[in-house]
Amino acid sequence: MLIEERHHRILEELKKNPAVTVRELSQILCVSEPTVRRDFTELHQRGLITKIYGGAILNQGAADREIPFLLREKEKSTVKTEIGKAAANLVEDGMVVMLDGSTSAYHLLPYLTRKKDLIVITSGAKTAVALAEANIRTFCTGGQMIIHSFSYVGEQAEAFVRNVNADILFFSCHGLTDDGRMTDPAIEEANLRKVMFQSARQRILLCDSSKFGKTCFYNMGTVADIDGVISEIPLPPAIQSTVGANRLSQNQAPLKS
């Protein structure tokens, strides 16, 4: 198990059970107690936990910190593959497609290879490489790379996006509140998505059900201002009735009704 993956597991365990001990974590993770203590020290230094005798306390807001792309890519991969396949059904030959740097958008890639004459614009470095390897004409926004997410952000990325026109945008967020607000802990990525909204004719949120009812630090808009949400289960009725309320285009249904 990679160190970052182990750290993520520790944070998840602390979120589920704040009283979990070093000994219990060593058994859960199949590592020694000294290894867990070293992990606690590193997480404490990063401001994610506070060490206490025999255990640790998850700091407020730590659960909303950015999780590395390689770990997020593995989370709910089957669900994200299902969402990606459904999203790709909205793509037609010859379209200009915009993708953010999320792992949800990354899962469209195997299905985009079946389309012809696409142009794809992305803020994801790993996504751009995979598209190029698939011989899809690709433009990357450039800008400052966020190391953990391999996403480009900042003024350069936003300036590039303002100068293009996409037929459809696929993007994700970290949390979708009960009243339809799309939220995220990464301000710069959220700001780039707001610019992407203005440069795409259709805007589709890719959102697995684990994000329903979750509120993160930063708002980046509401589902009333986009064209659809794709999830692996039906959206909560209050959200479904709001999707696209401020848009002229037709709402997109979830995968399952």
The CATH number of domain 3-64 is 1.10.10.10: yes
The pLDDT value recorded for residue 247 is: 64
**CA angle (201, 204, 209) in 5-degree steps:** 170
Q: How many H helices and E strands in the chain?
A: 11, 13
Task: Give the C-alpha distances (Å, rounded to integers) separating 251 from 10, 52, 118, 132, 248.
Answer: 39, 50, 24, 31, 9
Question: Does the pLDDT at position 190 exceed 90?
Answer: yes
Residues 74-117: tens digit of each pLDDT: 455 788 989 999 999 999 999 999 999 999 999 999 999 889 99
Residues 204-234: tens digit of each pLDDT: 999 999 899 998 889 999 999 999 999 999 9
* C-alpha span between 136 and 129 (Å, rounded): 10
Place of tokens 């692996």: 232
* C-alpha span between 128 and 131 (Å, rounded): 5
Q: What is the pTM of this model?
A: 0.71
User: Which residue did the predictor score with more confidence, 206 or 1?
Assistant: 206
What order do you get walking across the sheet with 175-176 strand by strand? 175-176, 181-184, 218-222
Q: Which CATH number fits domain 69-240: 3.60.20.10, 3.40.50.10470, 3.40.50.2300, 3.40.720.10?
A: 3.40.50.10470
* C-alpha span between 37 and 31 (Å, rounded): 11
| Closest listed residue to residue 222, CA positions, set 193, 249, 200 | 193
| Closest listed residue to residue 144, CA positions, set 152, 136, 135 | 152
User: Domain limits of the chain?
Assistant: 3-64, 69-240
The pLDDT value recorded for residue 188 is: 92
Q: What are the helix (H) ranges across the chain? A: 3-16, 22-29, 33-45, 69-74, 77-88, 103-106, 109-112, 125-133, 155-162, 187-198, 237-240
The pLDDT value recorded for residue 245 is: 80
| pLDDT bracket for residue 18 (50, 70, 90) | confident
| pLDDT bracket for residue 1 (50, 70, 90) | low
Place of tokens 């470095």: 125
- Quick one: CA dihedral 132, 138, 144, 147, positive or negative? negative
Residues 142-181: tens digit of each pLDDT: 999 987 778 999 999 999 999 999 999 999 999 999 999 9
